[in-house]
């Protein structure tokens, strides 16, 4: 295949022909040629924040393995067929791409043909401010991630896409030794996940057995869990088929965590945190729990899968064996569900519809599975680095599937910290009932929602917040000057 492709490409170059459009045959397994799609030698940039390709594809591996060579062959065929260069390269950094996209649209800069990727955390601004153009090609193919299409749909139109299954994220780690010492077989948790009986109640029962005061000094030596209360709240929310925000019957993004399933999830977060979470040591950093988990004195750790396979993360130097399952099912859930948090690709709103469609079509072709390559295991990458096989083969594999992932529409308003932090998860949820905590956060969220839904401008929002801050500062100053009676 590679030799034939090389000869064909060489012959075409000698003839000065840069398109396969007139070719009678298409290589086996390749997509049918789209007649009339010709970029006239232009470059299409796929901007992310980590790649370093260029028009000469200098970032390619010098001695690729067979599968990588097949990928190069397919991409070379696309470029020759449609008279185009396709370059994946960084536009800015993780936090800078949204600003670069906004500048591009504000300046109506269409000097380059491109797509711009943003992290899910930043996708709300392009969606609310029409920085992306709507997609008009058929997005019904299985490769287009349905949770991400839902996430990037507004007023019935899709403004951003993600090709491929969901990247596994929120999970529940467990320490195998701690469980065994409490008389619990660790694989029983995997088995329960497999047969659908891994539930909130089961996790509570296990933590009740695990949590012990070994030296009778009145303080637990083994705790049920440790970790971020935010991760715990988010995982429990989606595991009970609930959400913090969602679209209402009028197509407006609205508060959804005032529903009973959502309040139940927040209550379970309180229950677990108050009864089973190891206490934070005095004067410790916010991420103290990462080292605490490695000490091997807790059973569970709510986190994200990358913590289990990235070099330098918590699990890389952990002595105890551990496993990972999805968050247990809440009473309102029929199956295991976790949030999707994938990178979003969109087309800057600077082109005419015809140009936008051309970019969509070439990106569709570019993101196809490589012809002749088995892509079923390509997603695994480094995930076996420190993780046990059942975590990868069962848990992570399950989390990739559409039925087990859901869009986290909190990100349409901003990051978890900005939207849920001080408004709900960093104080109110601990000192109030879930219903009271949600009610106390409602005024903050109402203004955020008004901006996203177009009922308030960002300038009006900023002015209102500035006035509120000024009034609060004045009140504090007055209170300080008022003598105590």
Tokens representing 399 are 């989390």
**In sequence order, what are the residues at sequence separation of 6 or more whose Cβ sits closer than 8 angstroms to the Cβ of residue 165?**
145, 379, 400, 401, 402
How many Å apart are CA 297 and CA 271, to the nearest integer?
A: 20
**In sequence order, what are the residues at sequence separation of 6 or more whose Cβ sits closer than 8 angstroms to the Cβ of residue 287?**
none
Check if the beta carbon of residue 348 is closer than 8 Å to that of residue 114.
Answer: yes
CA dihedral in degrees (359, 342, 264, 187; nearest 10)? 140
* Dmax (CA) of the chain: 96
Sheet holding 43-48, edge to edge: 85-90, 43-48, 113-118, 344-346
Domains belonging to the chain, first-starting first, are 2-167+342-366 (3.40.190.10), 170-339+413-452 (3.40.190.10)
Check if the beta carbon of residue 1 is closer than 8 Å to that of residue 77.
Answer: no
Residue 300 bridge partners (DSSP): 174, 225
User: What number of residues does the chain have?
Assistant: 485
The predicted pLDDT at position 438 comes to: 98
Residue 348 bridge partners (DSSP): 132
Check if the beta carbon of residue 118 is closer than 8 Å to that of residue 143.
Answer: no
pTM equals 0.86
Instruction: Give the single-character DSSP code of 348.
Output: B
Check if the beta carbon of residue 300 is closer than 8 Å to that of residue 178.
Answer: no
324 membership: H or E segment, kind and range: strand 322-325
How many Å apart are CA 190 and CA 468, to the nearest integer?
A: 50
Tokens representing 423 are 């408004």
Check if the beta carbon of residue 197 is closer than 8 Å to that of residue 324.
Answer: no
How many Å apart are CA 251 and CA 164, to the nearest integer?
A: 27
Check if the beta carbon of residue 320 is closer than 8 Å to that of residue 179.
Answer: no
pLDDT tens sequence for the chain (485 residues): 444 444 444 444 333 343 444 444 799 999 999 999 999 999 999 999 999 999 999 999 999 999 999 999 999 999 999 999 999 999 999 999 999 999 999 999 999 999 999 999 999 999 999 999 999 999 999 999 999 999 999 999 999 999 999 999 999 999 999 999 999 999 999 999 999 999 999 999 999 999 999 999 989 999 999 999 999 999 999 999 999 999 999 999 999 999 999 999 999 999 999 999 999 999 999 999 999 999 999 999 999 999 999 998 989 999 999 999 999 999 999 999 999 999 999 999 999 999 999 999 999 999 999 999 877 777 888 899 998 999 999 999 999 999 999 999 999 999 999 999 999 999 999 999 999 999 999 999 999 999 999 998 888 888 888 888 888 788 777 777 777 66
Q: How many CB atoms within 10 Å of residue 468?
A: 12
Find the DSSP H helices in 107-217. Answer: 124-128, 146-151, 176-181, 187-195, 200-210
């Amino acid at each position: 295949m590679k030799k034939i492709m090389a000869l064909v490409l060489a012959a075409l170059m000698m003839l000065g022909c840069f398109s396969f459009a007139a070719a009678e045959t298409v290589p086996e397994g390749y997509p049918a040629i789209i007649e009339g799609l010709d970029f006239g030698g232009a470059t299409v940039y796929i901007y992310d924040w980590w790649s370093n390709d260029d028009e000469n594809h200098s970032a390619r591996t010098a001695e690729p393995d067979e599968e990588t060579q097949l990928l190069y062959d397919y991409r070379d065929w696309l470029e020759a067929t449609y008279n185009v260069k396709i370059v994946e390269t960084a536009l800015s950094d993780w936090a800078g791409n949204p600003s670069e996209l906004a500048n591009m649209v504000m300046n109506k800069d269409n000097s380059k043909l491109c797509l711009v990727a943003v992290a899910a955390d930043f996708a709300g601004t392009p969606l609310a401010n029409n920085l992306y153009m709507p997609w008009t090609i058929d997005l019904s193919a299985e490769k287009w991630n349905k949770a991400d299409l839902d996430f990037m749909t507004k007023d019935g139109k899709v403004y951003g896409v993600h090709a491929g299954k969901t990247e596994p994220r929120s999970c529940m780690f467990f320490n195998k030794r701690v469980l065994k010492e409490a008389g619990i077989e660790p694989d029983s948790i995997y088995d329960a996940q497999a047969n659908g009986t891994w539930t909130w109640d089961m996790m509570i029962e296990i933590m009740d057995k695990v949590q012990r005061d070994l030296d009778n000094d009145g303080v637990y030596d083994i705790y049920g869990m440790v970790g971020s209360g935010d991760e715990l709240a988010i995982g429990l929310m989606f595991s009970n088929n609930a959400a913090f925000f969602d679209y209402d019957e009028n197509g407006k993004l609205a508060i959804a965590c005032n529903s009973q399933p959502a309040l139940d999830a927040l209550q379970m977060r309180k229950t677990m945190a108050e009864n089973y979470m190891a206490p934070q040591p005095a004067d410790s950093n916010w991420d103290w729990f990462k080292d605490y988990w490695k000490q091997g004195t807790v059973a569970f750790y709510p986190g994200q899968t990358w913590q289990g396979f990235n070099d330098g993360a918590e699990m890389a130097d952990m002595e105890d064996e551990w496993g990972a399952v999805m968050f247990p099912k809440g009473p309102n859930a029929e199956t295991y569900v976790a949030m999707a948090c994938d990178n979003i690709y969109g087309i800057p709103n600077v082109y005419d519809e015809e140009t936008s469609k051309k970019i969509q079509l070439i990106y569709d072709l570019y993101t196809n599975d490589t012809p002749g390559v088995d892509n079923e295991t390509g997603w695994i990458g480094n995930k076996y680095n420190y993780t046990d096989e059942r975590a990868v083969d069962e848990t992570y594999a399950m989390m990739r599937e559409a039925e087990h992932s859901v869009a986290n529409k909190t990100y349409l308003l901003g990051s978890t910290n900005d939207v849920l932090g001080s408004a709900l998860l960093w104080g109110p949820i601990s000192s109030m009932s879930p219903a009271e905590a949600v009610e106390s956060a409602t005024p903050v969220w109402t203004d955020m929602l008004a901006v996203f839904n177009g009922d308030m401008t960002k300038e009006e929002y900023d002015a209102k917040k500035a006035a509120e801050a000024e009034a609060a500062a004045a009140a504090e100053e007055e209170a300080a000057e008022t003598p105590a009676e």
